[in-house]
Amino acid sequence: MIDFTLDYHAHILPNCDHGSNSLQVSLKQLEMAGAAGVHTIIATSHFYPDKESAGSFLSRREDSYQQLLPHLGEGLPEVKLGAEVLICSGLDRLDGLERLCRQGTNELLLEMPFYDWPEDLWETLYSLQEREDIQVVLAHVDRYPPDYIDQLAEDGFCLQLNAEGVCSRRKRKKCIQWAKAGYVRYLGSDIHMLGNQYKQWVKAKNVLTKKCGEE
Ligand SMILES: [Fe+2]
């Protein structure tokens, strides 16, 4: 069952990526998350392996988290650290990749490209799955060709859905099907700036609870 108090995918660290451009925006995002019933948020700032090293990213992420930290508490959701890692050819061999996993776990939130996936990325994806120290979680699977995701789910990959996908009339049916089959491990808001993602969160929670609860 999906835990609707855990937002597994969110861009809420101030000035770490394009998800928040100030401390004020980050705090407002956290307030909105709390109002939507979220108790824990994983801050999954974008990591682009062609742009920087894991070490450089982790140091930037820590600086950003330290700006936010003194303001946490007082009814705001708890913030844990993670990353949204964009795949590249050979990512399975990247130095320090395991350090990008969600804090305290071996789960790596992996983003696939929004163009057709070349064969070498499929190879990298399956090589990542073979690593015993990493459990891949595929980010926002509602944004990719459903037949790719069907195959990956059957092959044992964990799926993360965005609330937005569940709210989309075009995508909803497939999202529910994956959730009912038990393939969806996590829901994410994928909040960027002050978007409407937490309104979608509440709607997605209601839809999934109703549809999956019927089974
Ligand atoms: Fe994201």
Residue ranges and CATH numbers for the domains of the chain are 6-213 (3.20.20.140)
Name the token pair of 214: 């019927």
Q: What are the residues facing 45 on neighbouring strands? A: 83
Ligand 1 centroid – CA 215 distance (Å): 30
- State the Cα–Cα distance between residues 12 and 28, nearest whole angstrom: 9
18-54 CB burial, b ≥16 within 10 A, e <16: ebbeebebbbebbebbbebebeebbbbbbbebeeeeb
Ligand 1 centroid – CA 214 distance (Å): 30
Ligand 1 centroid – CA 40 distance (Å): 16
Ligand 1 centroid – CA 162 distance (Å): 9
The model's pLDDT over 52-72, given as tens digits with 9 standing for 90+, comes to 999 999 999 999 999 999 999
pLDDT category of residue 30 using cuts at 50, 70 and 90: very high
- State the Cα–Cα distance between residues 7 and 114, nearest whole angstrom: 22
Contact 148, 174 (CB under 8 A): no
pLDDT category of residue 26 using cuts at 50, 70 and 90: very high
Contact 74, 48 (CB under 8 A): no
Ligand 1 centroid – CA 47 distance (Å): 10
Residue 196: per-residue pLDDT? 97
Ligand 1 centroid – CA 159 distance (Å): 14
Residue 153: per-residue pLDDT? 98
Residue 213: per-residue pLDDT? 77
**Whole-number Cα distances in Å, 33 to 185, 192, 196, 207:** 19, 12, 11, 18
Quote helix, strand, coil % in the chain, to nearest 5: 45, 20, 35
The model's pLDDT over 61-104, given as tens digits with 9 standing for 90+, comes to 999 999 999 999 878 999 999 999 999 999 999 999 999 999 99
Residue 18: per-residue pLDDT? 96
- State the Cα–Cα distance between residues 102 and 192, nearest whole angstrom: 19
In the chain, % of residues over pLDDT 90? 96
50 pLDDT more than 80: yes
- State the Cα–Cα distance between residues 162 and 158, nearest whole angstrom: 14
Return mean pLDDT, the chain: 96
Ligand 1 centroid – CA 24 distance (Å): 20
- State the Cα–Cα distance between residues 164 and 151, nearest whole angstrom: 22
Ligand 1 centroid – CA 140 distance (Å): 8
Q: What are the residues facing 41 on neighbouring strands? A: 7, 79
Residue 157: per-residue pLDDT? 98
Ligand 1 centroid – CA 18 distance (Å): 10
The model's pLDDT over 95-138, given as tens digits with 9 standing for 90+, comes to 999 999 999 999 999 999 999 999 999 999 999 999 999 999 99
Residue 214: per-residue pLDDT? 57
Ligand 1 centroid – CA 111 distance (Å): 8
pLDDT category of residue 23 using cuts at 50, 70 and 90: very high
- State the Cα–Cα distance between residues 121 and 191, nearest whole angstrom: 26
* SS3 state of residue 207: helix
Contact 55, 22 (CB under 8 A): no
178 pLDDT more than 90: yes
- State the Cα–Cα distance between residues 189 and 176, nearest whole angstrom: 16
